[in-house]
Amino acid sequence: MSPHGFQSLAALVRRETAMVYEPGKEYLVEARLLPLATALGVDIDTYISRLGTDPTERRKALDALTINETSWFRDHSPYQAFTEEMLPAVLAARADRRRISIWSAACSSGQEAYSIAMLLDQHLPAGWTAEILATDVSTAMLTRVQNGRYSQVEMNRGMPATSLVKYFTRAGTDWEVVPRLRQMVRTRHLNLADPYLGLGTFDVVLLRNVLIYFDDVTKADILRRMSGHVAADGYLLLGASETTLGMPSDVASLWRREQLGRVQAHRPVLAAPQRSTYVPPSSTTAIGA
Amino acid sequence: MTVRAMIIDDSRAMRSILRRILTGLEFETSEAGHGQEALDQLTAGPVPDLCLVDWNMPVMDGYTFITQVRANPAWRNVTLMMVTTESEQSQIVRALAAGAHEYVIKPFTPDAIVEKLEILGLTSKGIPA
């Protein structure tokens, strides 16, 4: 792949998804796009130049470039914190309406959303409703989540054997999620860099190992807008290496950090409705008054 | 504390793959080519903390080995993980009912073994603090 090819692809990905591909990631881009280029019988540079004018192929390329290495119950401790700390708190706070809502943001192939669904199946009291929204920028990934089918190699990645036999059935050489878990999870196409229209608020938002792929300005913007979608008494979980520390002060001031076992959760500082109220520039409120 | 693991598989190549993964986690390893050989080693001691067990082996298969280990109270603390090509749901259920704690279906990636050991609480390697 030529340096020009890589630069123009990186610019395209940045424009379409706000994800950053720094120089040095050429091998990754080649590994993911070469099968698509080969399928069309062209070399990788020709393929990249074609993406500017071929929306179908552009969609496929962006799908292929979406990073999706994952396992079930990834890192273990966030799920332990979910079951032992967050879930009991939400059950107490929502006892009146008996409904819990979770957002798996950048859900990839769905292991996170279905891992949460398994825990809810085990720990949610009777009479409660659970809704898990799984969003991703990749339509191919969303189709995978809806189908709920996983290969043997994927199933080996962190799935306890007892859960495998309880929540999956064999489908040829693959495994398929049982209907009662699939019914908990709904999918929606969403680029985290775009507006979050009509999403509502969630008791727990999982935004793990996603921000690392965005530049600092987009990261701050995501965390700023995310604060309108975590319930006032809800939780935002980032990846183990991700934090609001070092963010612009207006972003850092939106979140307080709370240690839950081995996991640090982020919680809104102000009630969500107050933050989402739009104050027009012509407001009589004096700045600095 | 060092974890002692026994790898029970009739394939020398498979034993070697598993040994490399486990020694990478600083486990102490021993090996057996079939269930009976593994039982003899357990009897002679020292008793390992973990056995990785193939299903289909000559002399004594992995399923029989698991039932024999579970029948002896002296070995109740041994954690048993099947690593096998047997992939039918009914076989997994059968192995768990007989006393296997975990089940990995071949082929697997090294990460899959490490993640299963994390589930079993035998290693925290790879789990961020």
pLDDT in tens, A181-198: 999 999 999 999 899 998
Structural domain contains residue A225: yes
CA dist., res. A119 & res. A127, Å (int): 16
Q: Give the count of domains, chain A.
A: 2
Structural domain contains residue A274: no
A165 contacts B102? CB cut-off 8 A = no
| Token pair listed for A96 | 């009146």
Structural domain contains residue A280: no
pLDDT in tens, B53-79: 999 999 999 999 999 999 999 999 999
Q: Measured between alpha carbons, how far apart are the two ends of chain B, in Å?
A: 19
Q: Give the SS3 label for residue B8.
A: strand
CA count, 13 A, side-chain hemisphere, A198: 3
Q: Do residues A141 and A27 both lie within one domain? A: no
A169 contacts B119? CB cut-off 8 A = no
Q: Do residues A14 and A135 both lie within one domain? A: no
CA dist., res. A247 & res. B83, Å (int): 46
Q: Quick check: B9 pLDDT over 90?
A: yes
- The whole-number average pLDDT for the span A139-167 is 92
Structural domain contains residue A283: no
Q: What is the pTM of this model?
A: 0.78
Q: Tell me the pLDDT band of A35, cut-offs 50, 70 and 90.
A: confident
Q: Do residues A52 and A135 both lie within one domain? A: no
Q: Do residues A167 and A53 both lie within one domain? A: no
| Residue bearing the bigger pLDDT, A274 or A176 | A176
Q: Do residues A51 and A95 both lie within one domain? A: no
CA dist., res. A129 & res. A98, Å (int): 6
| Token pair listed for B106 | 């071949």
Instruction: Using CA atoms of A106, A110, A114, A115 in order, give the dihedral in degrees to the nearest 10.
Output: -70
Q: Do residues A12 and A124 both lie within one domain? A: no
Name, in order, each residue with C-beta under 8 angstroms of B129's C-beta and a sequence gap of 6 or more: A240, A262
Give me the domain span that covers residue A258.
77-268
Structural domain contains residue A276: no
Is A178 within 8 Å of chain B by CB?
no
Is B1 within 8 Å of chain A by CB?
no
Q: Do residues A98 and A213 both lie within one domain? A: yes
**End-of-domain residue from the set A33, A65, A97:** A65
CA dist., res. A215 & res. B94, Å (int): 50
Q: Do residues A41 and A85 both lie within one domain? A: no
Structural domain contains residue A177: yes
Q: Do residues A10 and A52 both lie within one domain? A: yes
Query: Which strands make up the sheet holding A168-171, listed edge to edge?
Result: A149-150, A174-177, A168-171
| Residue bearing the bigger pLDDT, A33 or B4 | B4
Mutate to test the interface with A, among B119, B124, B127 (most CBs of A within 10 A): B119
Predicted-complex ipTM score: 0.87
CATH number for the domain that contains residue A139: 3.40.50.150
Sign (positive or negative) of CA dihedral A125, A126, A128, A134? positive
Of A75, A161, A240, the CB nearest to B102: A161
Q: Tell me the pLDDT band of A151, cut-offs 50, 70 and 90.
A: confident
Structural domain contains residue A11: yes
Domains of chain B and CATH, by start: 3-126 (3.40.50.2300)
CA dist., res. A68 & res. A78, Å (int): 19
Give the pLDDT of residue A66: 62
Q: Quick check: A258 pLDDT over 90?
A: yes
Of B96, B105, B129, the CB nearest to A156: B105
Give the pLDDT of residue A276: 47
Q: How far is A75 from chain B (nearest CA, A)?
A: 5
Q: Quick check: A201 pLDDT over 70?
A: yes
CATH number for the domain that contains residue A56: 1.10.155.10
Structural domain contains residue A238: yes
Q: Do residues A134 and A50 both lie within one domain? A: no
CA dist., res. A229 & res. A103, Å (int): 9
Radius of gyration of chain A (CA): 21
Query: Which strands make up the sheet holding B79-84, listed edge to edge?
Result: B28-32, B4-8, B50-53, B79-84, B102-105
Mutate to test the interface with B, among A152, A156, A164, A241 (most CBs of B within 10 A): A156
Give how far Cα A264 sits from Cα of A9, A256, B34, Å. Answer: 35, 10, 46
Chain A residues within 8 A of B105 when measuring between CB atoms: 152, 155-156
Q: Do residues A58 and A88 both lie within one domain? A: no
| Residue bearing the bigger pLDDT, A174 or A66 | A174
Q: How far is B16 from chain A (nearest CA, A)?
A: 20
In percent, how much of chain B has pLDDT > 70? 95
Mutate to test the interface with B, among A71, A165, A242 (most CBs of B within 10 A): A165
Q: Do residues A101 and A186 both lie within one domain? A: yes
Angle at B125 between CA B120 and CA B129, to 5 degrees: 105
| Residue bearing the bigger pLDDT, A29 or A148 | A148
Chain A residues within 8 A of B109 when measuring between CB atoms: 153, 156-157
Q: Quick check: B25 pLDDT over 80?
A: yes
Single out the residue of A166, A107, A70 nearest to residue B115, CA to CA: A70
